[in-house]
Amino acid sequence: MNRLTGKVALVTGAARGIGAAIARAFVAEGARVLLTDIDNARGAQTAQALGERAAYRRLDVREPSDWDAAMAALLNDWQRLDVLVNNAGITGFEGGAAAHDPEHATLEDWRAVHRTNLDGVFLGCRAAIRAMRAQGSGSIINLSSRSGQVGVAGAAAYASSKAAVRNHSKTVALYCAEQGLAIRCNSIHPGAILTPMWDALLGDGPEREARMRDFVWDTPLRRFGRPEEVAAVAVLLASDEAAYMTGSELTVDGGLLAGSPASPRG
């Protein structure tokens, strides 16, 4: 398992869920990984479990000064950055917040989602390009969402932010190519991946299993995806196998965007 041997990666939102799965897969493939998050206890625990090729640092993706400090520390310790995964994100429903429909969403809530999901990606891409310019190569992987490719009536802020991530990834890819840099930028669009983000929707009571069955019935593969299945795609994009891929978007949604399964409910 050496597809990423010699590479140095930084993963945001890596304390749990998809970010933790990506960090785990990168380490397994030989990379050194700096896990970052704002959940210090869980982030440090996750990094410690991954062994000597992993480390943890607090990074609030909304703060330019945090990005500056994280990049300076990484370059000082490991001398280079080969892969950035902009994974950190929020739905806006954390803590039981109301749905963000286009009529009733507050500007404050709208801006809070965009500040993490979009501003954080912009700041990460900017920092990565500057860090990678020295060697002239690298891979930036932005986590968008299936919701960035379709409208979501009750999650206007989230869908808008993820659509912007999708587009900004293409802009970054074109800019780096224009600059003569072999810095690739691609986006991954997960859908129906069972992570802690779903807890607010599924709950933890006796009806959780029923809600899960109701949801996955409408997916062609009839199940939720696993974080490890998204991580496998991230490994590909981080590796030299994807050297001719930039400005691309890869969907990992069990066929949701392909349409509805033909067989009737029964």
* Catalytic residue annotation: 158
Torsion of CA 166, 6, 58, 72, to 10 degrees: -100
- List the one residue out of 253, 202, 260 whose CA is nearest residue 225: 253
**CA 237, 143, 32: angle at the middle one, nearest 5?**
55
**CA 193, 199, 203: angle at the middle one, nearest 5?**
130
Spatial strand order in the sheet of 137-143: 54-58, 32-37, 8-11, 83-86, 137-143, 182-190, 249-252
- List the one residue out of 19, 34, 25 whose CA is nearest residue 4: 25
